[in-house]
Structure 1
Amino acid sequence: MPSWDSLIRFEAAEDGVTYWAALALDTVPVAGLKVPGFASIEALERHGSSRAVTVKKLLAPTPNQSIPIYCIGLNYRNHAEEAKLIPPTYPPMWYKPAAALANHEDDILFPTVAHSNFPDFEGELAVILRGPIKSISTADVSSSILGYTIGNDLTARMFQDPKRCGGQYTYAKAFDAFAPLGPRLVHPSKFVPSAPTTLVTRVNGEVVQQSPLDFIYPVEDVASFISQGTTIPHGTVIMTGTPAGVGWFQEPKSPLKDGDVVEVEIQPIGILSNKIVFEK
């Protein structure tokens, strides 16, 4: 049996230090919780020393905040259909830099270059790896998964327009804080992507995405593929793609606006919420 069902990473009210804590799945991760705080996941799993602390702010639940984030595209059939694209043999992939990482309930500052080029959302399941891994088989991936969380692959969509930018994805998605994650990390024994699970994205309370996790490229295939000949560090985040309903493909097109609140929900992980703020 795992020593935890879900984990939160947070700043403590008492000392401003970052801790990890285990939460039962029926406990909603929010500020104000009083928990035993551990210095690391390893300390928690070996039942090391802890301190009784209060959650001040939830942080992105990844043990490594200094490495790039892997992103996968065209991983839902309904999204490929709305984009009128044929999924390739291998999953499309790009990176977000470490500075793109953001937290649950952070205000996301869209720089002018981004908010003037169709700001958009992409609700996604994110997987975090234990690693390091290299050239692993799909059969070995499950033992290398630390857990699952929720991500929002924020995008300046005009920079994905092939006529403007040759179809590249990285620039459109690599701005600071364009990869919020949270609110918690759920153990792989408690969350199985192939089980009946629904991803829901809301903008200002209105449902804009609602889809089962109908992956074209399953998590095991994605992790094995990106690891071939490549060392994937401990704590690497993989964002697994978004379903239909992004603003670019709505009728009429619907970009994010200054002050919009975007929520991405996948249970039992919870709800990732962020407010969009345009740089003046």
Structure 2
Amino acid sequence: MSPANHAALLNSAVDTTVFALSKTFTILVLYTVYVGLFLFSLYTIVRWNSRGRRFMLIISSGMFVLATTDMLMSVISWAIDIAIIKLAIQEDTASVRRLIRLYDNVDVASAALLTTNNLLTDLLFLYRCHVIWDSRGIILILPGAFILATCSLSFVVDSYEHILDPRVPYGMAGVTNAILTCLTAGRIWYKSREAATVNGNAFRRRYHTAIGMIVESGALYSLVLLLQIVAWSFPLPFISGTETLIVFRGVCIGLVEQMVNIIPTLIFVRVGMGYCQWNQEYPGLEVQIPRVRTPKLQEEAFPEDVYSEVIEIK
């Protein structure tokens, strides 16, 4: 190998290692936070006594497994980068090429994990939207189509990265998130108007709390996706002297890979901390909530009609 080629290989390996280090560090920090949130959310879900609890446990456990696997694969990628630098210094070209192929395979597997993880999160939000819309199947057509499109485009980019702009799946995921957020929050707002005709403004604050939680989570996820799109807008391959941009991209990818789990888990945590335990107030009030067939006490009727739909996200 000529000195020029050796220097180019070494510079590329160093840039890739900087990228992997920034990504891995971000993932490790966020994963530590996520583990605590997951354990608390698991306790919250187990305490719920409603339909959909098993579905929540399965989805949450699946997200935890994917998040853990992603963290481990990120650490492995970083270790491979370090090994590549050592071998490049020793000018062991054959071993470097083998490790580069291994690194590429790990990178493809990590991208597939992110696609699967995002699919689970979308299914969680889709199910929540389905329940809030009184299990009307027709409401799932539009967001379901966008979820399938996002998943398909992501797998195309993972398998044939030169065919499609990698920013396209993230943009599609943002649109999907916006549709689900609008459908869910809009339905709750409509129900708040229905409840107000029966109960005045007694329960409007509770509805607004639920709307705020959903809009906040949707906005946070959109912001993370936007940062990722901006990061992918920088030219490739890595160019020596652009370490700041490389670190920025690594941080953004790490944010996406873990925030896709943290954001929905935060909703469970907020419910478990008592931000929206609406069914514990006004214990003796007789209320006829719209679409509740028989008059019941407020603390029984309200959870079944609104609270269980909005907050338990069945």
Q: TM-score, normalised by structure 2?
A: 0.24
Structure with a larger share of its residues in helix: 2
Give 1 or 2 for the bigger CA radius of gyration: 2
Q: TM-score, normalised by structure 1?
A: 0.26
